[in-house]
Amino acid sequence: MQSFDDIVVRKPWGHEYLCYRNEILAIWLLHIREGQRTSLHCHPNKHTGLVVLDGAVKIRFLRGEVQLQGLDKIHIFRARFHSTEALSPKGAYLLEIETPEDKLDLVRLEDSYGRAGQNYEGSQHYTIKTNEALKILEPGVNQASEPTIHGCQITHIGVHHSQELTGYGGEVVVVIVRGGLWITKGNQILYPGDVVDGWSLGRLAPTFQVVPGTTILVIRRIET
């Protein structure tokens, strides 16, 4: 399978590229241009988390729709058809968390660009990723500063105790990258790929135990 490590995938609605992967999940950055939309598609075998970094989007389902803006989030369970349209003049930037990673796990039902029923884009749609692209490193890896992109700071940290998960406000978004929270060993309530606001995480953390090896992505708006 194509690794996508150094590739930007061109889409008729914009582009996307991989900015992090581990053995459980992958995180991509998407840019959707104003008025453009992804296909009405589903992933039969993987869950999808979306976090809007900048701009506003409308997400349509087979029935109903929701509108989100930064830093709103949504978790889309496997096999649920959805399409994301950018509403903002400069388009919208999103993080997409896929669990497990599999770009070929794709069924397109409808598409504005004639791709209904087609597979994921082939190599003719690939370009080389530049140094400006977001790259999320593992906790503890030396870097000059925390990555910032599209008005957000993104911090990847390791967690050892439940109190480390408290104190985040509702305006902060947290992605479980590894581990999570369990009631008892093997009986888990937060899993890798789950996306939760900081306030809700703070309510859960004191009651439940941190799974050994847990890491989280903390996403917050930068004050300007």
* pLDDT at residue 120, rounded to an integer: 96
pLDDT band at 218 (very low <50, low <70, confident <90, very high): very high
* More confident: 141 or 59: 59
φ and ψ at residue 199, rounded to 5 degrees? -65, -45
Write down how long the chain is: 224
| Helical (H) or strand (E) element with 196 | strand 195-197
* Domain 7-128: CATH class, spelled out: mainly beta
Q: Quick one: DSSP state of residue 162?
A: G
Residue 183 has pLDDT above 80, yes or no: yes
Closest CA to 139 of 126, 156, 154, 123: 156
Q: Is the peptide bond before 71 cis (omega within 30 degrees of 0)?
A: yes
Neighbouring-strand partners of residue 37: 85
Q: Is the peptide bond before 100 cis (omega within 30 degrees of 0)?
A: yes
Domain definitions of the chain by residue range: 7-128, 148-221
Q: Is 63 exposed, middle or buried (0-12, 13-18, 19+ CB in 10 A)?
A: exposed
Q: For residues 184 and 35, what is the distance between their CA atoms, to the nearest angstrom?
A: 47
Pairing relationship of beta strands 82-86 and 56-61 according to DSSP bridges: antiparallel
Q: Are 198 and 173 in contact (CB under 8 A)?
A: yes
- Mean pLDDT to the nearest integer, 42-60: 98
**Lookup: tokens for 104:** 């070929």
pTM of the model: 0.95
* pLDDT at residue 168, rounded to an integer: 94
Percentage above 70 pLDDT, the chain? 97
* pLDDT at residue 143, rounded to an integer: 64
Residue 55 has pLDDT above 80, yes or no: yes
Pairing relationship of beta strands 7-11 and 65-69 according to DSSP bridges: unpaired
